[in-house]
Structure 1
């Protein structure tokens, strides 16, 4: 069982479903409204936990109803929540999500996530010492992410960073990242190379980047800089929210299997996640993922024979 430490955001997702996205100044009648647990940190923690990892999450919520609900939900997933701080001076973060024709538009209000600081990580340093891999995103302050990378390095742990939302990354942080997991746009922004071809950027960081391409799967460079492609898996999408988070949580959960194997399993997990509603609602359990991959291999074998 891989021990995954996640440092990141915890939000409540407020989801509206519509037939069209509203234009500037337009008011639309929505079809449905629901609340779902979210935040990239929490999402990736749940994804890893459902796939068999022992997960600890470091984060911050408000001292409010959303915060209590989210902490209880994470604990129910088997996630160690002892290092989730309840802040009295900020509300729990939220994400306002509009779903339309299986696509989405999202506005995030960070709230208490912005209060997660280096001191919170220092208080949880034992978690860095005891984990197998550290996973972080950019929905908490950059200084906190940099400190997480430093603590991972101090304890000799691999550090995976999902650079979302897109942001330019300091050279000192890039030097401490074991694996960067952007989409194509995030890759260019993270490396400060907006005009470079993504193939060039991947080849320049051998073994250090896995770039996601949605339904197109993922691309990564091996140790000698050769670009490898992990094709996407064909499914019928219902809600694409959380697919990237599922991919990242799965990468961490299967880190011990090597990059190519982890990317294969993560791509399948990400595909499965879009077949149900909610960022966390569609995240597969290990038995579901194994069955999906087994059926796919059997289908491929029968097609070849």
Structure 2
């Protein structure tokens, strides 16, 4: 997801590069310390980036990720690096998270750039009206955010289902050719009465901008939006995800938003404004930075990303 606004060009075409965001040193240093405190508070201290789980492809029967556009390098597709999750013999719905419902929202859709009229349609997000959806971003080699997000979502679903959770995706391999709109994505989580909802994204900022950040809902009470009841639990969910994501992936907190904490609060996202269940977004890295792109296109790293997300969600659900 582009942090500064929608991009409606086909993902294989490079967008003009935006200038780097300037962060004052005086703000960055205390912010980095706060980020480390968040990390330690949720059980950090492990070796950053240690591969604690084998890379795994989506489980048998799972819809495959959409095909990459022409020009996508062989290393980019969603096929995993090595190994697959073993069959632990557990019956579906058994495990410590039995009875818990998690909604995973893989950002964007690979067909959005061919349906600009549909995704440009304005929808009510409470505070104002906004585009139904955006195209998302891509690496310079053409690996799209939409492909990345559904691949991580499949891996995350496998991990959570092994814990006994019921997992629903807002879109999958059999989804319509575009969307769903941001208001519908929120409604899916609300209708499911999810105990936790996570929207997965990757950013499209300037080269040199690196790191992940978790977006938390701000307090909104306007129109169809009322987040007041979910602000607190969503913050808890976000902090737990941030700490575990950092530990599992080794990806640092963003160096261009969040002051080094890896946490950002926003009130302009319909997927958060319209949610009535605890929900956060995560920008897993910057697809336009070569170092982050090398991670995001790695199946082994995507498995670590799914593991970090899973551990954050599990930690939240076990105390809720």
TM-score, normalised with respect to structure 2: 0.27
Which structure carries more strand by proportion? 1
Which structure carries more helix by proportion? 1
